Amino acid sequence: MPSNWILIADDDLEDQEMLIEVIEQLDKSLTVETASDGQEALNKLAGLPLEEVPALLILDFKMPYLNAAELLEILAKDEKYIPIPKVVWSTSSRQEDVSRCLKAGANNYFVKPSRASELREIVGQMLEYRKMKS
């Protein structure tokens, strides 16, 4: 049975709230959990049985303790986490950041939008990745 929850790791509470609001508008069946940094996200994932891992990880690039690339690199070392779709979103559009995240296992990298209409479109694209989970 596929899991029906998403983990958002972002140290900006406003960004978390905006994401949750749009996710709930687009799919009321999803449960959203949050982590305020990369280490907290790793702690929430640790010890979960395979059937309980999230359907999608949404990671802010710039987080304390572990940024998205560092977290992705750790997750890539454990086969249990490899099938989880992972997307990064960030204020950074630096090619080095994008490349590092994609190389470390992110399915996509989104730059945080400035308009609500763009946010809805981006979240819709993010949610499409959870359908890829095997």
Q: What percent of the chain has pLDDT over 90?
A: 82
| Residue 125 pLDDT exceeds 80 | yes
Q: Tell me: the pLDDT tens digits for 30-45?
A: 999 999 999 999 999 9
Average pLDDT over residues 6-35: 95
* Residue 133: band (very low, low, confident or very high) from pLDDT cuts 50, 70, 90: low
Q: Is the dihedral of CA 30, 35, 38, 44 positive or negative?
A: negative
- pTM of this structure: 0.94
- Three-state SS at 126: helix
pLDDT score of 115: 87
Pick the CATH number of 5-132 from 3.40.50.11260, 3.40.50.2300, 2.40.110.10, 1.10.3720.10: 3.40.50.2300
pLDDT score of 114: 85
Q: Give the whole-angstrom CA distance, residue 125 versus residue 110.
A: 10
Residue 47 or 19, more confident: 19
Q: What letter would DSSP give residue 87?
A: E
Report the DSSP pairing between strands 5-9 and 108-111: unpaired
Domain locations in the chain as residue ranges: 5-132
